[in-house]
Structure 1
Amino acid sequence: MLELLQNLNHWDWLALAAVLLILEVFGTGGYLLWAGLAAALVAGLKFLIPELAWTLQLPLFGVLAILTAVYWWKRQRTSPALSDQPFLNRRGHELIGRTFLVQQAIVDGRGKIKAGDSVWMAEGPDAEVGTAVRVVAQNGVVLTVEIVT
C-alpha cells in the first residue's frame, strides 16, 4: 500500500476525479462534485510539480475538497434565488391584492369567490353574489376578503 501511495501520479488523481464525477451523475446531491474537482486540482498540481510527495498530495486533496465545498455552500446561501414565478407552489398568494366577484354569498363571514377558473372559500364581511371583493390574505385554502368600495 505504501508503495502505491509513493508512486501516485497525475493519472491516478485524474482517474479518481473521473470516478467521483461519474458517481455524482447518479445523484449524490453535489457531495462528490467537489471531491472530484479537488482530485482534478491535485492532478493538475502533480502534473506541474512531478516531485510533489504523496504526504502532501493527500492532505492537499482533503483541504481542497473541503474548501471547494464550503465555497459553494456559502455562495449558494448568499445569492438570492430569483424566479420568474415567485408564487409557484404557493397557490393563492398570487391572488392577494386582486379583485374578484362573490360567487356564493358571504353569510356570517363565510362564502365563495370565483378567482380565474377556480372557486375559493372566502371569509370576510357579509356580501351578496356579484359583489366586488379584494383578497387581503390567505389562510390555507381560505381567502380573506374585503369589500371594494
Structure 2
Amino acid sequence: MSIVERLIAELGPWSWWILGLLLLGLEILAPGTIFLWFGVSAILVGTLALFVDLSWQTALVIFLILSFVSLIIGRRLMAKLSSEAGDPGLNRRGSRYIGRVFVLETPLSQGAGKLSVDDTVWRITGPDLSAGTKIRVTEIDGARLVVEAADETAEA
C-alpha cells in the first residue's frame, strides 16, 4: 500500500474535504469557475461520507456525478448572471448618449462641431444649427456623435 493510499484510508471522509479545499484554492489561482464546482462536489461527498459508510469506488462515482451536475447547473447560472449584470455600453461610451437631448453651446457649421457632455468634449456631425439649439443624438460614428435638431418640447 503506497503512502497516498494509506493516508487516504486513514483520513477517510476528511480526504474529500481536503481535496475540496485544494480545488477551491486552485479556483482562486485559475481563471473561470471550473474548479469551484469540483471543489463543492468533493466537500459534499466528504460530508455524505461522514454519515454513510461509502467505499472509495462509490464515493468516486458520487463525486463524478455531482461534479458533472454542478458543473452544468453552475455554468448555466453563471451565464445567466453575467448576461444580466454589467453595462452593455461600457466600451462604447457614446452609445449612452443616443436619444438624449442637449443644447448646443457653439454653432454646428459645415456639418461639424463640438458638444460638451459631462466632463468630455465630443465632436459632432449633423446639419448646420445655431448656438442654443436643442439637439438629439441619433447615433455614434466612430468617435463622433451624429445629431439632429430636436423638437422644442424636448427636455435637455
TM-score, structure 2 as length reference? 0.78
Gaps of 5+ in 1: none
1:30 counterpart residue number: 33
2:115 is the alignment partner of 1:95: no
Q: Deviations over 1:48-81 (max 9, x none)?
A: 211x222222122122112111101112233552
Structure ranking higher in strand proportion: 1
For structure 2, the residue ranges without an aligned partner over 5 or more in a row are 152-156
> By percentage of residues, which structure has more helix?
2
Match for residue 144 of structure 2?
142
In the other structure, the counterpart of 1:105 is 107
2:62 to 57, 60, 74: 60
Aligned residues: 147
User: Partners of 1:77 and 1:28 in 2: how far apart?
Assistant: 15
The 4+ residue runs of structure 1 with deviation greater than 6 A are none
Q: Tell me, yes or no, if the aligned pair for 1:124 and 1:145 is still in contact at 8 Å.
A: yes
Residue 43 of structure 1 corresponds to: 46
Percent identity at matched positions? 33
In the superposition, the TM-score normalised over structure 1's length comes to: 0.81
